[in-house]
Chain A
Amino acid sequence: MLEWLKQRRNIRKIGRWFGWVALALLAFTVLTGYGISQFRIVNSLTLGLLDKVSSHRLHHYTDVPLVILALAHVTIAAWGRLGARKRRRTCEKQIL
Chain B
Amino acid sequence: MRKANPLILTLLLIGVVLAACSRPIPSTELEGTEIREYQGEDLSSINDFRENSIKGPQYVSLDEYTLEITGLVEKPLSLPYEEVLDRDQYSKVVTLYCVEGWDAKILWEGVLIKDLIDRAGAKGEANTVIFHAEDGYTSSLPLDFVRENNILLAHKMNGVTLPPERGFPFQVVAESKWGYKWVKWVTQIELSDDPDYKGYWEERGYNNDGDVEGPIFERP
Contact = CB atoms under 8 A, between A and B. Distances in A.
A10 interface: no
Interface string A15-56: 000000000000000000000110110000000000111101
Per DSSP, chain B at the interface is loop
B53 to A, nearest CB: 9
A37 B217 CA distance: 16
Given A37-B50, A40-B54, A57-B217, 9 more contacts: A36-B99, A36-B100, A51-B204, A53-B204, A53-B205, A53-B206, A53-B217, A54-B205, A56-B216
Interface of A: 36-37, 39-40, 51-54, 56-57
A52 B217 contact: no
A61 B100 CA distance: 15
B97 interface: no
A25 B54 CA distance: 27
B197 interface: no
Contact of A52 (B50, B56, B201): B201
B52 A39 contact: yes
Contact of A56 (B50, B56, B99): B99
A51 B203 CA distance: 12
A39 B205 CA distance: 14
Nearest to A51: B204
A22 B217 CA distance: 26
Given A53-B217, A56-B99, A57-B217, A37 B52 contact: yes
14 contacts: A36-B99, A36-B100, A37-B52, A37-B100, A40-B54, A51-B204, A52-B201, A53-B201, A54-B205, A56-B99, A56-B216, A56-B217, A57-B205, A57-B217
A52 B98 CA distance: 13
Interface string B8-34: 000000000000000000000000000
Contacts of B100: 36-37
Interface string B68-103: 000000000000000000000000000000011000
